[in-house]
Chain A
Amino acid sequence: MGVSGWFRGVSPYGLAFSLHRITGIILLIYLCMHLTYLTSLTDKTGKTYETLISITVTPTFLPFDILLVLCGLYHGLNGLRLIVHEFGFAYEQRKAILAASVIITIAAWLYVSYVMYKIVVGG
């Protein structure tokens, strides 16, 4: 079947699995970019780092940062849900737990997005 088999879910749990994989891949790519970014700190003058900050911590990059936060929150909270089930707990309540994890993810994402907007754009 191949990798396409990860994305053909027949239930909300299958969709949750697919999103977990997608967000995991995005976070992995981000991690590589972030580590590359951090190598700028080897420039002791700090100029390279400051230049990168002036480019990335801007309203233009804000939508990407907000989407990245969504990926991180979803992957983390869904991961906690999976840990609970994989320890053999609350299997029968899996529908409610999935719904709760999605609601908490969206609520936390909206709050964090608001905070980020205030920091970057101000007002």
Chain B
Amino acid sequence: MVEFRIKRFDGSRSYWQSFEVPLKKGMTVLEGLLYIKENLDSTLAFRYSCRMAVCGSCAMKINGRPRLACETQIAALKSDKITIEPLDNFIVIKDLVTEFEGFFKKHERVKPYLIRDDISYESPVELIQTPEELKAYYDFTLCLKCGACYSVCPAAATRDILGPAAITAAYRFCMDSRDRGEDKRVDVILSDDGAWRCHFAAECSEVCPKNINPAKAVQKMRVKAAIKGIKRIFRW
């Protein structure tokens, strides 16, 4: 048996509740939560979907660190007591479910899609890209938007900022050889809640379940934005 100690929230008050879960070989934290929901307390709320670390829905704080519940095996935690909390820096809706609308709005602000003026749907043209050009941004395409990076960002603890995930998405598209929208994204990065709020705690890179190094993308994007910003001042 393993003890699941869960931080719950019913809309007005927050409290801790413990559950005893029978441990099976290879069992994940998500399976433990599903066991609780099906057998012990059906009111427990948590978010999940793919169960294979692709959708990023089940990010939660497990033993003090943001992880995906679906890929975290209970045995790997090497503890008979597991503490589960909702992600920090997000508004809790119920139990382990946090509000993600604001997070996705930030993502939307950096225009995470290819921007070109010459796309014609009447006469489409294939946009050629070499393997080297793909390599320049490929790692950053792996972001799940799980929110783990934002939840550990100390800069996001004291104010609402664009955050590592959105800036990483901006960098991913700015590095794409097919994209022509860097200027538009730089405007967002140069804004008051943009890249300047990063103080390089690098926690985002440490907790990213896909190891995509958001802190690196933020710094690279910051340099890009700084150069553009200086050029704009001098009208180059």
Q: Which residues of A contact B (CB under 8 A)?
A: 1-6, 8-11, 13-14, 16-18, 20, 82, 85-88, 91, 94
CB within 8 Å: A-B pair count: 75
When A14-B206, A86-B219, A88-B223 are in contact, do A9 and B158 touch as well, CB less than 8 Å?
no
Kindly identify which residue among A1, A20, A86, A87 contacts B88, using a CB–CB cutoff of 8 Å: A1
- The interface residues of chain B lying within 8 Å CB-to-CB of A14 are 152, 154, 201-203, 206
In the complex, whether B207 has a CB less than 8 A from a CB of chain A is: yes
- The interface residues of chain A lying within 8 Å CB-to-CB of B223 are 87-88
B220 touches A10 (CB 8 A): no
B200 touches A5 (CB 8 A): no
In the complex, whether B213 has a CB less than 8 A from a CB of chain A is: yes
Interface bits B151-167 vs A (CB < 8 Å: 1, else 0): 01010111000000000
In the complex, whether B89 has a CB less than 8 A from a CB of chain A is: yes
Q: How far is the CA of A3 from the CA of B152 in the complex (A)?
A: 13
Interface centre among B156, B203, B222, B223 (most CB of A within 10 A): B203
A91 touches B201 (CB 8 A): no
B206 touches A11 (CB 8 A): yes
Total interface residues on B, CB under 8 Å, equals 25
- The interface residues of chain A lying within 8 Å CB-to-CB of B64 are 10
- The interface residues of chain A lying within 8 Å CB-to-CB of B207 are 10-11
Interface of B, helix, strand, loop or mixed by DSSP: helix
In the complex, whether B199 has a CB less than 8 A from a CB of chain A is: yes
4 more CB-based (< 8 A) A-B contacts, given A9-B154, A14-B154, A94-B202: A3-B157, A14-B202, A82-B200, A91-B215
- The interface residues of chain A lying within 8 Å CB-to-CB of B203 are 9-11, 13-14, 17
Query: Nearest 10 A-B pairs (CB), nearest first?
Result: A5-B157, A17-B201, A1-B157, A13-B202, A11-B206, A88-B223, A91-B216, A14-B203, A6-B154, A88-B219
Min distance, Cβ A53 to any Cβ of chain B, angstroms:
37
Min distance, Cβ B77 to any Cβ of chain A, angstroms:
14
B158 touches A91 (CB 8 A): no
B200 touches A86 (CB 8 A): yes
Q: How far is the CA of A95 from the CA of B207 in the complex (A)?
A: 15
In the complex, whether B65 has a CB less than 8 A from a CB of chain A is: yes
- The interface residues of chain B lying within 8 Å CB-to-CB of A20 are 199
- The interface residues of chain B lying within 8 Å CB-to-CB of A11 are 202-203, 206-207
